[in-house]
Chain A
Amino acid sequence: MAKSTSKDAQALIQSLRSAYAATPTNLKIIDLYVVFAIFTALIQVVYMAIVGSFPFNAFLSGVLSCTGTAVLAVCLRIQVNKENKEFKDLPPERAFADFVLCNLVLHLVIMNFLG
């Protein structure tokens, strides 16, 4: 039972990896970026858990900056993905321009909140 479970898990991961290998490179870059942002946010949360939330606005800025940019990156990924028929007419350059603009606005707010 235990053996078969580990085998199943291995087979599952194997199939996942093979399926993921088929994704285009630009989408992989975005995924990597999202993972990077999430991990940075996680480290800050751990730090907060260890030493306390003072100064709270700095902590919020840091975490929101990471999650915000991760969300934006996910949005970019949705728009760029060619399999999403919904955004077929939208060129990826336009989506990237939106991503850059939203990031700049987000970080202006973050910097203001950082104090």
Chain B
Amino acid sequence: MAGSLAGFLVLVLAVSISEAASIFQPISDSHRSAALELFAPTDGSFGSLEETYEALRTFEILGIKEKPDITTGSCQSVSETLGSSSSTTEDLFHALKVNSILKCNVDEEIFQGVASGLKAVVNDASSLLDFYYSIGSLVLIKDQTSKVDALLGDADGIFRSIKALSQSDGRWRYSSNNPESSTYAAGLALEALAGVVSLASSDLDQSLIVTLKNDIVKLFDSIEKYDDGSFYFDEKLVDAREHQGPLSTTSSVVQGLTAFASVTSGSINLPGDKILGLAKFFLGIGIPGNPKDFFNQVNSLAILESNRVSVPLILSLPATVLSLTKKDQLKVKVNTVLGSSAPPLTVKLVRAFISGSKDSSVIKSLKLEFDPENAVHFLDVLPKSVDVGSYQFVFEIVLDDSVDKKVYATGGQTQVPIFVTGVVKIDNAEIAVVDSDLGSVEAQKKLDLAGENSVSLSANHLQKLRLSFQLTTPLGSIFKPHQAFLKLRHETKVEHIFVVGNSGKQFEIILDFLGLVEKFFYLSGRYDIQFTVGDAVMENSFLQDVGRVELDLPEAPEKAPRPPLQPVDPYSRYGPKAEITHIFRAPEKRPPKELSLAFLGLTLLPFIGFLIGLLRIGVNLKNFPTSALPATFAVLFHLGIAAVLLLYVLFWLKLDLFTTLKTLGFLGVFLMFVGHRILSHLASTSSKLKSA
């Protein structure tokens, strides 16, 4: 799902790039190297038999010789799958597909057993996938061994039961109880029906085949189209459980269609341009990024290359840029989608016109010559009417043999954008300083714009600077480039750009400095002159420093505009920033340490005095309770006070207010309790003492 989505995005991108007119290149060597990268086995094998088949089939189609050797391991798992009774029809189908390429040594009896089992499945099958895998497997057995009877007895009945799942618009349902119809399923059904036809032991009812051909035509009515002429199928249902992208859907339909076409006689009435459009769709994807998409693309292209409806031929150009000076030949290649050579044919250049003006064609009806050695159709010399410029060439492929016309699809006319380039000749280039009033030439220098120039001029604001030149194409006509600029750059890097206009044959610009002083910001001094002529089809486009002019301009008046500031170099944004210095408050002056310590000692003095005073008064602890319980409370009370004071010290040193208050709550309750007990005890003893 994700892979097909990615493929689709690539496709959309490719389409948006090549929208104007598209050139599709056949499969080339870049596909081969991409295939080897995408299909790289891990530990000598691919994940499943399905992936193994996709890898082997891709290598086979692209003709890759130095592929990884996985034969032994794969053959072993093929034998195991075929020999196992628990294998599903899907497993058997993929195993047989791998075997069709590797030709492993599988016993006839195993084939016999598998074939009879599959026949039972076919007769009981009700869903489309059961039919598809079992019939597909039987077809593969029939192709791989002639000794096993894989033919179906009741081919008509099976054909009808598959056909019963079809819808009126040509699409199919996966099973009878699933109302959703799918284009992808239509491809599977067509392939299964083709298998039934090839397995039928007796001739089928021809009317069934005729109705099926009509269904295919109806299915092709729902084909979708891009602007570049590529056609594709897409699922209408987005929310279906097994949604398939446009690539796998288209691939499925192509497989079904070609399988059915190869087993039935008579033609299917499909327009060749649709088949060619399908081929363009697959080629337009470029190189898909995942193995499944890659296989779908390459396999579908291989099937288209050998199909019986019509084989698409792809017209491609090795180069779309032609140089008149080098006398490049116009070369056109016509190949099949896989890059092999086409049948004898003639390529006609129907007409060519200048891009953007469809009416005026410069070439009408030219036949290209054929170079059998390089298999290239070429036009030796471009007609005189084609000068440098961008053109649209319209080609048409005409098949020499009328029998081939039924086999190949050429898709009518193909429009290709072509650029014709050339060296443009520059004549009469000169630069001059002219006096304003008299018109007399002060100084005049010839310029050789093909080589180096270094003119040195001087002028004042009363003079003019004149630059003139002529451009002619290789065919001698006047050439008008996209860009012709004159740039003056002052020493202070202030720049002024002027567009050089043309008058008939001559390109000329006159700079009247009197009118330009304000624009020049009254900046006198040296100006570098840079001269640019450029065009996509001009091979010798140039950007050249011609020289310098010394300008003498009047002094700037007061209100003259200031020259703009030069833009800052964007890279300096990523450079280091200026260092930020922080300014801190200067610390307060502190007293000397000794003084502070002395005062610390001094504060202790009153305390010592307090203690001495206590001794003098004759304090005693006689009132301290003597019995055990009050004494305990008394001790606890004092310890509690000490604890609170210690907590305060801790609060000062490191704790925060919340922890302190929390702890203080507990300590306070404890202190209240013991304090109340001891103090009430003391009060009661003292009152007893009084009353006594």
Contact = CB atoms under 8 A, between A and B. Distances in A.
B683 A93 contact: yes
A102 interface: no
Interface string A70-106: 0000000000000000000001111011001000100
A33 B617 CA distance: 12
Given A94-B679, A100-B675, A36 B610 contact: yes
A43 B595 CA distance: 13
Nearest to A33: B610
Contacts of A33: 610
Nearest to B607: A36
A51 B641 CA distance: 34
A67 interface: no
Nearest to B623: A26
A111 B652 CA distance: 6
Interface size class of A (residues with CB under 8 A): 20 to 34
Contacts of B617: 25, 28-29, 32
Contacts of A104: 641, 644, 668
Nearest to B680: A93
Contacts of B652: 111, 114
A21 to B, nearest CB: 11
A40 B603 contact: yes
B606 A40 contact: yes
Contacts of A100: 641, 675
B609 interface: yes
Given A93-B680, A93-B683, A104-B644, A112 B614 contact: no
Nearest to B619: A29
Interface string A21-52: 00001001100110111011001101100111
A32 B591 contact: no
Contacts of A97: 675-676, 679
A100 B674 CA distance: 13
Given A43-B599, A43-B606, A114-B652, A50 B591 contact: yes
B638 to A, nearest CB: 10
Contacts of B614: 29, 32
Contact of A93 (B596, B605, B682): B682
A32 B610 contact: yes
B591 A51 contact: yes
B483 to A, nearest CB: 75
A96 to B, nearest CB: 7
| Most interface-central of B596, B679, B682 (chain A CB within 10 A) | B679
Interface in B576-634: 588-591, 595-596, 599, 602-603, 605-607, 609-610, 613-614, 617-619
Interface string A48-77: 001110110000000000000000000000
B609 A39 contact: yes
A108 to B, nearest CB: 7
Contacts of A46: 599
A54 B686 CA distance: 49
A55 B599 CA distance: 15
A94 B341 CA distance: 121
Contact of B619 (A25, A52, A54): A25
Given A33-B610, A91-B683, A43 B619 contact: no
Contacts of B607: 36, 40
| Most interface-central of B610, B660, B682 (chain A CB within 10 A) | B610
B684 to A, nearest CB: 9
Given A36-B607, A40-B607, A54-B588, 11 more contacts: A35-B613, A36-B610, A36-B613, A43-B599, A47-B596, A52-B589, A54-B590, A93-B680, A107-B645, A107-B648, A111-B652
15 contacts: A35-B606, A37-B606, A39-B606, A47-B602, A50-B595, A51-B591, A51-B595, A54-B588, A54-B589, A91-B683, A93-B682, A94-B679, A100-B675, A104-B668, A108-B664
Q: Which 9 A-B pairs have the closest CB atoms?
A: A51-B591, A39-B606, A36-B610, A93-B679, A32-B613, A54-B588, A93-B683, A47-B599, A111-B648
